Amino acid sequence: MEYKEFLTQLQKRIKKDKQATERLSSIMVKVLREECANMNTVSVKGFGSFEPKKKLEREIFNPATGSKMLVPPKIVLTFKPSTSVKNQIKELKPNE
């Protein structure tokens, strides 16, 4: 689902106008981003948790060119769904 559709659905739920919903959403996303950038874990009950993780530098080997490359260390944001979401997704039937 695209973000726009998500916002209209959210708007119906909280019973506010479109502008206020968009403003609040963008602020919330900004807060989330700032906290993750500060290496803080954000866990939302019933949804999951966002956790920034450090990855060490590593060497990779390109078999086509035979060259070795050094991948720098980095921080990536991981998302771990809560058990309820995870189980519900697990029980989905393969429809295609």
Partner 1 sequence: MNKKLTILDIADLVATKSGVTKKEAELFVKEFFSLASEIISSGESLTIKGVGTFLPVWVDARTSVDVNTKQPIEIPGHYKLSFTPDKTMKDAVNAPFAAFTTEVVEVEIPEMVEIKDDDNEYSEEQTDESETLVVEDEVLSDINIEIAQPEIVETEVVEESKVSDSVSEDIDEEITKVSVAESQIETPSVLPVTYVQNEEEIQKEYRRRTRNGYLFGFLTALILFVIFISLWFFIFKGEKGISLSFSSFKLSTVGEQIEGENLSNNVVDIQENNIDSLFVDPIETDELIAEIENTSSENKYPLIDTIQRGKFLTTIAEKHYGDKAFWVYIYRENSGRIWNPRDLKAGFKVVVPAASKYGIDATNPESVSKAKELEKQILYEIE
What is the nearest approach in angstroms of partner 1 to the Cβ of residue 83?
12
> Tokens at residue 80, please?
């771990």
CA distance 22 to 27: 9
Tokens of 66: 């035979």
Q: How far is the CB of 23 from partner 1 (least distance, A)?
A: 7
Residues of span 30-69 touching partner 1 by CB under 8 A:
30-48, 52, 59, 66-69
- x/- map, 8-27, partner 1, by CB under 8 A: -xx--xx--------xxxxx
Residue 77 binds partner 1 (CB under 8 A): yes
- In the numeric block, the tokens 């739920």 are attached to 13
3-class SS of residue 24: helix
Q: How far is the CB of 18 from partner 1 (least distance, A)?
A: 14
User: Which 3 state secondary structure label does DSSP give 58?
Assistant: strand
Q: Specify whether the CB–CB gap between 35 and 52 falls below 8 A.
A: no
Interface residues toward partner 1, by CB under 8 A = 1-3, 6, 9-10, 13-14, 23-48, 52, 59, 66-79, 81-82, 84-86, 88-92, 94
